Amino acid sequence: MRVRHSETMGIDIDAVFKEIGEFGSYQRRIYFLLCLPAIFVGAGNLAQVFIAATPKYRCVVPLCDANISNPLYYQPFLNFTIPYNIKDNSWDGCQRYQRLHNDHSCIPEDFSKNITEECREGKAFSTDIYSSTIVSEFNLTCNAAWKAEMSQTIYFSGVMVGSFLFGIVGDL
C-alpha cells in the first residue's frame, strides 16, 4: 500500500521522492563511508574480550620446570608439586606444595602434600589459544585477577564520559 498524501501535512511523498531521487549509488557510498567509523569503534569495544582473556595457567615449580618443552602439561611432576582442583578439573593456578628440601632434584619426597604456598616464581601460561594476553604479560591472576576486568570498566567509563562531552560539543 503506497501513501499518496500525508493527512496531517498535505505532502505528496511520491512527489518528494521523484524530486530528490531514489536511494542510488551516491547514497550507498555516503552510507558506507558513514559506517566505517562505527566498524572501528565496534572492533575496539570487542577487542577487550580477546586482549584480556585468561589462558590456562599454573605455578612454575623451580628445578622441575627446567628443560621441559611444554611445562604446562608435563604431568608426572605436577602430581606431587601442585594441588589438583577436582571441582574445576584443573591444576591449582595460585598454590603449590611447599618444597621441603633445597637440593637440586624434583622427586615426590621433596614436597609436602599438607602445606601449600603461593607461587613466588611466577606462572606458566598455556599458549594453545592465545600467544599473549594482558593477563599473561602482567601476571593478572589470583589476587590480581580483578585488574583485567577493571580495565574494561575503565574503558567503558571513558566511553560514557566522552559520549556526554563530545555530544555536547557536537551540538555547538
More confident residue, 164 or 22: 164
The answer to whether position 44 is within a domain reads no
More confident residue, 125 or 64: 125
Using alpha carbons, select from 84, 121, 85, 114 the residue that is nearest to residue 98.
114
**Is 99 part of any domain?**
yes
Q: How many domains does the chain have?
A: 1
Give the pLDDT confidence score for residue 7 in this predicted structure: 54
Task: Evaluate whether residue 15 is within a structural domain.
Answer: no
Tell me whether residue 119 is in a domain. yes
Residue 75: inside a domain, yes or no?
yes
Q: Is the pLDDT of residue 74 over 70?
A: no
For the ranges 99-113, 133-147, 158-172, the lowest mean pLDDT is seen at 99-113
**Is the pLDDT assigned to residue 66 strictly greater than 80?**
no
Nearest residue to 98 (alpha-carbon basis) of 76, 120, 126: 120
- Grid cell at residue 128: 594453545
Q: What does the pLDDT read at residue 67?
A: 63
For residue 94, how many other CB atoms are within 10 A of its CB? 18
Q: What is the mean pLDDT of residues 46-61?
A: 89
- Is 124 domain-assigned? yes
DSSP H or E run through 11: none
Amino acid at 115: I
Answer yes or no: is 23 within a domain: no
Mean pLDDT, to the nearest integer, of 32-39? 93
Contacting residues for 147 by C-beta, under 8 A, at least 6 apart: 138, 140
41 lies in some domain: no
- Expressed as residue numbers, the domain containing 119 is 57-133
Neighbours of 78 (CB within 10 A): 19
Q: What does DSSP assign to residue 47?
A: H
Q: Average pLDDT of 111-126?
A: 88
Strands 111-118 and 95-99: antiparallel
- Contacts of residues 131-135 at CB distance under 8 Å and 24 or more positions apart, as own/partner, are 133/50, 133/51, 133/52, 133/53, 133/54, 133/55, 134/51, 134/52, 135/52, 135/53, 135/54, 135/55
pLDDT confidence bin for 6, thresholds 50/70/90: very low
Is the distance from CB of 91 to CB of 125 less than 8 angstroms? no
Mean pLDDT of the chain: 84
Percentage of the chain lying above the pLDDT 70 cut: 90
Percent of the chain with pLDDT over 90: 26
Mean pLDDT lowest for which of 42-51, 73-82, 162-171?
73-82
DSSP state of 103: S
| pLDDT recorded at residue 68 | 66
Q: How far is residue 3 from each of residues 6, 8, 9, 19, measured CA to CA in Å?
A: 7, 13, 13, 16
